[in-house]
Chains A and B, each alone.
Chain A
Amino acid sequence: MSYFKTSKKIQNYTHNVDTSFTKQQLGTSIVAYNGTEITYTPPAGATSVVYECSLQFSWSPDVAHSYACTRLQYSDDNGSTWNTITGTKVLDGTTGSVNDYDCFLTNWNFLIPAWSGERKLRLAGRAFSSTNRCTLGKSFGATEDDTTSCPHVSVYSIF
Protein backbone atom coordinates (compact mmCIF):
# COMPACT_ATOMS: atom_id res chain seq x y z
CA MET A 1 0.00 0.00 0.00
CA SER A 2 1.33 3.42 -0.89
CA TYR A 3 -0.09 6.86 -0.35
CA PHE A 4 -0.07 10.02 -2.35
CA LYS A 5 -1.24 12.98 -0.32
CA THR A 6 -1.53 16.56 -1.42
CA SER A 7 -3.03 19.46 0.46
CA LYS A 8 -3.21 22.30 -1.96
CA LYS A 9 -5.78 23.73 -4.28
CA ILE A 10 -8.12 22.88 -7.12
CA GLN A 11 -7.95 24.58 -10.52
CA ASN A 12 -9.14 24.21 -14.13
CA TYR A 13 -12.37 22.44 -13.34
CA THR A 14 -14.12 21.10 -16.42
CA HIS A 15 -17.00 18.71 -16.99
CA ASN A 16 -18.86 16.62 -19.54
CA VAL A 17 -22.61 16.09 -19.29
CA ASP A 18 -23.69 14.85 -22.69
CA THR A 19 -27.48 15.02 -22.73
CA SER A 20 -27.50 13.61 -26.27
CA PHE A 21 -25.99 10.48 -24.79
CA THR A 22 -27.16 7.11 -26.17
CA LYS A 23 -27.51 4.15 -23.84
CA GLN A 24 -25.04 1.37 -24.47
CA GLN A 25 -25.31 -2.36 -23.91
CA LEU A 26 -21.98 -3.87 -22.92
CA GLY A 27 -20.77 -7.14 -24.45
CA THR A 28 -17.52 -9.01 -24.03
CA SER A 29 -15.34 -6.63 -26.05
CA ILE A 30 -13.85 -3.59 -24.36
CA VAL A 31 -15.49 -0.42 -25.65
CA ALA A 32 -15.41 3.26 -24.74
CA TYR A 33 -18.29 4.33 -22.52
CA ASN A 34 -20.45 6.90 -24.26
CA GLY A 35 -20.33 10.33 -22.71
CA THR A 36 -17.20 9.80 -20.62
CA GLU A 37 -14.44 11.15 -22.88
CA ILE A 38 -12.87 14.45 -22.06
CA THR A 39 -9.85 16.28 -23.46
CA TYR A 40 -7.85 17.96 -20.77
CA THR A 41 -4.62 19.90 -20.36
CA PRO A 42 -3.43 20.33 -16.76
CA PRO A 43 -2.14 23.80 -15.96
CA ALA A 44 1.56 24.25 -15.34
CA GLY A 45 2.50 23.25 -11.81
CA ALA A 46 -0.36 20.84 -11.23
CA THR A 47 0.69 17.69 -9.41
CA SER A 48 -2.40 15.55 -9.99
CA VAL A 49 -5.60 15.34 -11.94
CA VAL A 50 -8.89 14.04 -10.56
CA TYR A 51 -11.37 12.31 -12.88
CA GLU A 52 -14.79 11.72 -11.34
CA CYS A 53 -17.74 10.04 -12.98
CA SER A 54 -21.22 9.11 -11.87
CA LEU A 55 -23.28 6.85 -14.13
CA GLN A 56 -26.01 4.24 -14.05
CA PHE A 57 -26.02 0.60 -15.07
CA SER A 58 -29.19 -1.42 -15.47
CA TRP A 59 -29.84 -5.15 -15.51
CA SER A 60 -30.65 -5.26 -19.22
CA PRO A 61 -30.47 -7.77 -20.86
CA ASP A 62 -29.25 -10.31 -18.26
CA VAL A 63 -31.90 -9.83 -15.61
CA ALA A 64 -30.22 -11.73 -12.79
CA HIS A 65 -26.48 -11.39 -13.39
CA SER A 66 -25.05 -8.08 -14.56
CA TYR A 67 -21.43 -7.04 -14.11
CA ALA A 68 -19.46 -4.23 -15.72
CA CYS A 69 -15.65 -4.34 -15.85
CA THR A 70 -14.60 -0.68 -16.03
CA ARG A 71 -11.25 1.10 -16.27
CA LEU A 72 -9.94 4.62 -16.84
CA GLN A 73 -7.91 5.08 -20.01
CA TYR A 74 -5.88 7.87 -21.59
CA SER A 75 -4.67 8.70 -25.06
CA ASP A 76 -1.76 10.97 -25.95
CA ASP A 77 -2.32 10.64 -29.72
CA ASN A 78 -5.81 12.09 -30.07
CA GLY A 79 -7.56 8.77 -29.52
CA SER A 80 -5.59 6.51 -31.84
CA THR A 81 -4.31 4.36 -29.01
CA TRP A 82 -5.56 4.04 -25.44
CA ASN A 83 -3.75 2.98 -22.26
CA THR A 84 -5.36 1.68 -19.07
CA ILE A 85 -4.25 3.50 -15.92
CA THR A 86 -3.04 1.25 -13.08
CA GLY A 87 -5.32 1.07 -10.07
CA THR A 88 -8.45 2.10 -11.94
CA LYS A 89 -9.91 -1.29 -12.84
CA VAL A 90 -13.21 -1.78 -11.09
CA LEU A 91 -15.93 -4.43 -11.21
CA ASP A 92 -19.52 -3.47 -10.36
CA GLY A 93 -22.59 -5.65 -10.43
CA THR A 94 -24.80 -8.24 -8.80
CA THR A 95 -25.76 -11.88 -9.16
CA GLY A 96 -29.14 -13.11 -7.99
CA SER A 97 -30.62 -16.57 -7.80
CA VAL A 98 -33.81 -15.07 -9.18
CA ASN A 99 -34.44 -12.40 -11.78
CA ASP A 100 -33.93 -9.32 -9.65
CA TYR A 101 -33.67 -6.55 -12.27
CA ASP A 102 -31.00 -4.56 -10.46
CA CYS A 103 -30.09 -1.01 -11.43
CA PHE A 104 -27.23 0.71 -9.70
CA LEU A 105 -25.61 4.10 -9.69
CA THR A 106 -21.84 4.07 -9.56
CA ASN A 107 -19.49 6.88 -8.65
CA TRP A 108 -15.78 6.59 -9.25
CA ASN A 109 -13.10 9.07 -8.16
CA PHE A 110 -9.66 8.61 -9.68
CA LEU A 111 -6.55 10.62 -8.87
CA ILE A 112 -3.75 10.34 -11.41
CA PRO A 113 -0.40 12.12 -11.87
CA ALA A 114 -0.54 15.30 -13.92
CA TRP A 115 1.00 15.39 -17.40
CA SER A 116 2.24 17.96 -19.87
CA GLY A 117 0.13 18.90 -22.87
CA GLU A 118 -3.23 17.68 -24.07
CA ARG A 119 -4.53 14.24 -23.20
CA LYS A 120 -7.83 12.45 -23.69
CA LEU A 121 -9.39 10.54 -20.80
CA ARG A 122 -12.30 8.13 -20.98
CA LEU A 123 -13.89 5.18 -19.27
CA ALA A 124 -13.94 1.89 -21.13
CA GLY A 125 -15.15 -1.54 -20.24
CA ARG A 126 -17.05 -4.70 -21.01
CA ALA A 127 -19.49 -7.10 -19.43
CA PHE A 128 -17.85 -9.74 -17.29
CA SER A 129 -19.12 -12.47 -19.63
CA SER A 130 -21.72 -13.09 -22.30
CA THR A 131 -24.22 -13.99 -19.59
CA ASN A 132 -23.36 -11.06 -17.33
CA ARG A 133 -24.29 -8.19 -19.63
CA CYS A 134 -25.64 -4.83 -18.56
CA THR A 135 -26.58 -1.53 -20.13
CA LEU A 136 -24.88 1.75 -19.42
CA GLY A 137 -27.28 4.65 -19.02
CA LYS A 138 -30.54 2.74 -19.39
CA SER A 139 -33.10 4.08 -17.00
CA PHE A 140 -36.77 3.45 -16.34
CA GLY A 141 -39.30 6.08 -15.37
CA ALA A 142 -42.58 5.61 -13.58
CA THR A 143 -44.54 6.09 -16.79
CA GLU A 144 -41.83 5.81 -19.37
CA ASP A 145 -39.43 3.03 -20.28
CA ASP A 146 -36.05 3.40 -21.86
CA THR A 147 -35.20 6.88 -20.77
CA THR A 148 -31.50 7.51 -20.69
CA SER A 149 -29.28 8.54 -17.82
CA CYS A 150 -26.10 10.15 -19.08
CA PRO A 151 -22.75 9.95 -17.31
CA HIS A 152 -21.67 13.02 -15.34
CA VAL A 153 -17.94 13.59 -15.61
CA SER A 154 -15.80 16.19 -13.91
CA VAL A 155 -12.07 16.69 -14.21
CA TYR A 156 -9.87 19.12 -12.30
CA SER A 157 -6.27 19.68 -11.32
CA ILE A 158 -4.65 19.63 -7.90
CA PHE A 159 -1.68 21.78 -6.98
Chain B
Amino acid sequence: MTYKVDKLCIFQNTSHTSHQTINSTSYTEVSGSKCDLNNTEQRNMNLFYKFNFQCGQNPTSPYSDDHYLIHMKLQSSNDNFSSDINDIPGFKFNIAHDSAYAGSTAGHDYSIMSYTAFMILENFNKRYLRLVARAYDTTNFTGMLHGYTFFDGASSTYYYDTLLQIVEI
Protein backbone atom coordinates (compact mmCIF):
# COMPACT_ATOMS: atom_id res chain seq x y z
CA MET B 1 0.00 0.00 0.00
CA THR B 2 1.29 3.45 -0.86
CA TYR B 3 0.13 6.90 0.14
CA LYS B 4 0.29 10.10 -1.83
CA VAL B 5 1.14 12.74 0.76
CA ASP B 6 2.32 15.56 -1.50
CA LYS B 7 -1.04 16.70 -2.77
CA LEU B 8 -1.55 19.55 -5.17
CA CYS B 9 -2.34 22.89 -3.53
CA ILE B 10 -2.12 26.01 -5.69
CA PHE B 11 -2.99 29.58 -4.79
CA GLN B 12 -2.62 31.97 -7.71
CA ASN B 13 -3.22 35.64 -7.06
CA THR B 14 -3.37 37.96 -10.08
CA SER B 15 -2.98 41.71 -9.76
CA HIS B 16 -4.80 43.17 -12.73
CA THR B 17 -3.76 46.47 -14.29
CA SER B 18 -6.59 46.58 -16.79
CA HIS B 19 -10.19 45.54 -16.98
CA GLN B 20 -11.24 42.72 -19.26
CA THR B 21 -14.25 43.49 -21.40
CA ILE B 22 -16.39 40.54 -22.43
CA ASN B 23 -18.08 41.93 -25.53
CA SER B 24 -17.72 39.16 -28.07
CA THR B 25 -19.68 36.01 -28.81
CA SER B 26 -16.41 34.10 -29.11
CA TYR B 27 -15.02 32.57 -25.96
CA THR B 28 -11.93 34.20 -24.52
CA GLU B 29 -9.74 33.19 -21.60
CA VAL B 30 -10.58 34.87 -18.30
CA SER B 31 -7.40 36.57 -17.09
CA GLY B 32 -6.04 34.95 -13.96
CA SER B 33 -8.10 31.77 -14.32
CA LYS B 34 -5.51 29.63 -16.09
CA CYS B 35 -3.19 27.41 -14.15
CA ASP B 36 -0.48 24.91 -14.96
CA LEU B 37 -0.96 21.97 -12.58
CA ASN B 38 2.38 20.61 -13.76
CA ASN B 39 0.74 17.20 -13.92
CA THR B 40 3.26 15.85 -16.41
CA GLU B 41 2.74 12.26 -15.32
CA GLN B 42 -1.01 12.60 -16.00
CA ARG B 43 -1.89 11.39 -12.53
CA ASN B 44 -5.61 11.05 -11.75
CA MET B 45 -6.62 13.58 -9.11
CA ASN B 46 -9.75 14.78 -7.38
CA LEU B 47 -9.56 18.59 -7.26
CA PHE B 48 -11.53 21.62 -6.40
CA TYR B 49 -11.18 24.67 -8.62
CA LYS B 50 -12.22 27.91 -6.94
CA PHE B 51 -11.96 31.28 -8.68
CA ASN B 52 -12.94 34.59 -7.11
CA PHE B 53 -13.54 37.46 -9.51
CA GLN B 54 -15.74 40.46 -10.18
CA CYS B 55 -18.07 41.30 -13.07
CA GLY B 56 -19.97 44.48 -13.85
CA GLN B 57 -21.96 45.96 -16.67
CA ASN B 58 -19.79 47.18 -19.50
CA PRO B 59 -19.27 50.95 -19.05
CA THR B 60 -17.85 51.27 -22.56
CA SER B 61 -20.87 49.71 -24.21
CA PRO B 62 -22.53 51.92 -26.82
CA TYR B 63 -25.86 50.65 -25.53
CA SER B 64 -27.01 52.67 -22.57
CA ASP B 65 -29.14 49.90 -21.14
CA ASP B 66 -26.56 47.18 -21.34
CA HIS B 67 -26.78 44.29 -18.88
CA TYR B 68 -24.32 41.51 -18.67
CA LEU B 69 -25.28 37.96 -19.54
CA ILE B 70 -22.03 36.07 -19.63
CA HIS B 71 -21.50 32.41 -20.49
CA MET B 72 -18.57 30.80 -18.73
CA LYS B 73 -17.09 27.33 -18.88
CA LEU B 74 -14.10 25.43 -17.57
CA GLN B 75 -11.64 23.99 -20.05
CA SER B 76 -8.70 21.61 -19.79
CA SER B 77 -5.60 21.05 -21.89
CA ASN B 78 -2.31 19.21 -22.03
CA ASP B 79 -0.57 21.70 -24.34
CA ASN B 80 -1.39 25.08 -22.78
CA PHE B 81 -4.52 25.38 -24.94
CA SER B 82 -2.54 25.39 -28.15
CA SER B 83 -4.43 22.62 -29.94
CA ASP B 84 -5.65 20.41 -27.11
CA ILE B 85 -8.69 22.34 -25.85
CA ASN B 86 -11.47 20.51 -24.07
CA ASP B 87 -14.69 21.72 -22.51
CA ILE B 88 -15.26 19.82 -19.29
CA PRO B 89 -18.78 18.33 -19.33
CA GLY B 90 -21.05 19.85 -16.70
CA PHE B 91 -18.88 22.87 -15.98
CA LYS B 92 -20.79 25.62 -17.78
CA PHE B 93 -22.58 28.45 -16.00
CA ASN B 94 -24.02 31.92 -16.57
CA ILE B 95 -23.80 35.16 -14.64
CA ALA B 96 -26.49 37.75 -15.34
CA HIS B 97 -28.85 40.27 -13.81
CA ASP B 98 -32.33 41.11 -15.08
CA SER B 99 -31.23 40.46 -18.62
CA ALA B 100 -34.83 39.97 -19.79
CA TYR B 101 -35.13 43.74 -20.15
CA ALA B 102 -31.73 44.40 -21.70
CA GLY B 103 -31.93 47.18 -24.23
CA SER B 104 -34.97 48.66 -22.60
CA THR B 105 -35.45 51.08 -19.73
CA ALA B 106 -38.21 48.90 -18.28
CA GLY B 107 -37.30 46.90 -15.25
CA HIS B 108 -33.59 46.83 -15.94
CA ASP B 109 -30.93 46.15 -13.37
CA TYR B 110 -27.38 47.35 -13.62
CA SER B 111 -25.14 45.31 -11.42
CA ILE B 112 -21.58 44.90 -10.27
CA MET B 113 -20.95 41.72 -8.34
CA SER B 114 -18.27 39.49 -6.90
CA TYR B 115 -18.46 35.84 -7.81
CA THR B 116 -16.76 32.67 -6.66
CA ALA B 117 -16.90 29.80 -9.12
CA PHE B 118 -16.42 26.56 -7.22
CA MET B 119 -16.16 23.26 -9.06
CA ILE B 120 -15.00 19.76 -8.18
CA LEU B 121 -13.24 17.58 -10.74
CA GLU B 122 -13.06 13.84 -10.24
CA ASN B 123 -10.27 11.70 -11.69
CA PHE B 124 -8.82 14.68 -13.52
CA ASN B 125 -5.52 13.98 -15.26
CA LYS B 126 -4.85 16.96 -17.52
CA ARG B 127 -2.15 19.58 -17.04
CA TYR B 128 -3.92 22.92 -17.54
CA LEU B 129 -7.24 24.43 -16.47
CA ARG B 130 -8.85 27.74 -17.33
CA LEU B 131 -12.17 29.55 -17.50
CA VAL B 132 -13.37 31.06 -20.75
CA ALA B 133 -16.18 33.57 -21.17
CA ARG B 134 -18.33 35.15 -23.88
CA ALA B 135 -21.32 37.49 -24.01
CA TYR B 136 -24.76 36.21 -24.92
CA ASP B 137 -24.75 38.74 -27.73
CA THR B 138 -22.83 41.89 -28.58
CA THR B 139 -25.69 44.36 -28.30
CA ASN B 140 -27.03 44.46 -24.78
CA PHE B 141 -25.39 41.68 -22.83
CA THR B 142 -21.70 42.53 -22.51
CA GLY B 143 -19.75 42.84 -19.28
CA MET B 144 -16.45 43.81 -17.74
CA LEU B 145 -14.26 41.81 -15.36
CA HIS B 146 -11.68 42.63 -12.66
CA GLY B 147 -12.89 45.93 -11.23
CA TYR B 148 -14.86 48.96 -12.22
CA THR B 149 -14.80 52.66 -12.95
CA PHE B 150 -16.66 53.99 -9.90
CA PHE B 151 -15.85 53.74 -6.19
CA ASP B 152 -16.53 55.65 -2.98
CA GLY B 153 -19.07 57.98 -4.52
CA ALA B 154 -17.05 59.12 -7.51
CA SER B 155 -15.65 58.13 -10.87
CA SER B 156 -12.62 56.15 -9.74
CA THR B 157 -11.07 53.21 -11.54
CA TYR B 158 -9.98 50.25 -9.44
CA TYR B 159 -8.75 46.76 -10.23
CA TYR B 160 -9.78 43.73 -8.22
CA ASP B 161 -7.21 40.99 -7.68
CA THR B 162 -8.47 37.57 -8.68
CA LEU B 163 -7.60 34.54 -6.59
CA LEU B 164 -7.53 31.04 -8.04
CA GLN B 165 -7.34 28.10 -5.66
CA ILE B 166 -6.79 24.57 -6.93
CA VAL B 167 -6.55 21.99 -4.19
CA GLU B 168 -6.33 18.22 -4.43
CA ILE B 169 -8.88 16.56 -2.19
Bound complex: CA A150 to CA B108 (Å): 30
- Please provide the chain B residues from 72 to 102 with a CB less than 8 Å away from any CB of chain A in the complex: 97-98
Is the Cβ of A2 less than 8 Å from the Cβ of B15? yes
28 A/B residue pairs, CB under 8 Å, sorted by A: A1-B15, A1-B18, A3-B12, A4-B14, A7-B9, A8-B9, A28-B153, A30-B152, A48-B13, A89-B151, A90-B114, A90-B158, A90-B160, A91-B112, A91-B151, A93-B112, A93-B113, A94-B112, A95-B111, A96-B109, A97-B106, A106-B114, A107-B114, A109-B50, A109-B116, A110-B163, A126-B153, A158-B11
* Chain A contact residues: helix, strand, loop or mixed: strand
The residue of chain B having its C-beta at the shortest distance from the C-beta of A111 within the complex is B13
The residue of chain B having its C-beta at the shortest distance from the C-beta of A158 within the complex is B11
Interface centre among B9, B52, B114, B159 (most CB of A within 10 A): B114
Contacts of A48 in B (CB 8 A): 11, 13
- Please provide the chain B residues from 113 to 149 with a CB less than 8 Å away from any CB of chain A in the complex: 113-116, 147-148
- With A1-B14, A94-B110 already in contact, 7 other A-B pairs whose C-beta atoms are closer than 8 Å: A4-B12, A88-B160, A90-B158, A91-B56, A92-B112, A94-B97, A128-B152
Whether B62 sits at the interface, judged by CB under 8 Å, is no
Whether A67 sits at the interface, judged by CB under 8 Å, is yes
Bound complex: CA A89 to CA B159 (Å): 7
Whether A87 sits at the interface, judged by CB under 8 Å, is yes
Interface size class of A (residues with CB under 8 A): 35 or more
The minimal Cβ–Cβ distance linking A125 to chain B, given in whole angstroms, is 9
The minimal Cβ–Cβ distance linking B42 to chain A, given in whole angstroms, is 18
- Counting from the closest, the 5 A-B pairs by CB-CB distance are A87-B161, A109-B52, A111-B13, A95-B110, A94-B111
- Please provide the chain A residues from 45 to 67 with a CB less than 8 Å away from any CB of chain B in the complex: 48, 50, 67
Bound complex: CA A12 to CA B98 (Å): 42
Using a CB–CB distance below 8 Å, which chain B residues touch chain A?
8-18, 31-32, 35, 50, 52, 54, 56, 97-98, 105-116, 147-148, 150-153, 158-161, 163, 165
* Chain B contact residues: helix, strand, loop or mixed: strand
The residue of chain B having its C-beta at the shortest distance from the C-beta of A90 within the complex is B160
Contacts A87-B159, A91-B56, A109-B50 known; A5 to B110 CB distance under 8 Å? no
Contacts of B116 in A (CB 8 A): 107, 109
Is the Cβ of A129 less than 8 Å from the Cβ of B153? yes
Is the Cβ of B13 less than 8 Å from the Cβ of A4? yes
Is the Cβ of A107 less than 8 Å from the Cβ of B52? yes
Is the Cβ of B107 less than 8 Å from the Cβ of A98? yes
Bound complex: CA A146 to CA B114 (Å): 24
Whether A20 sits at the interface, judged by CB under 8 Å, is no
Is the Cβ of A3 less than 8 Å from the Cβ of B13? yes
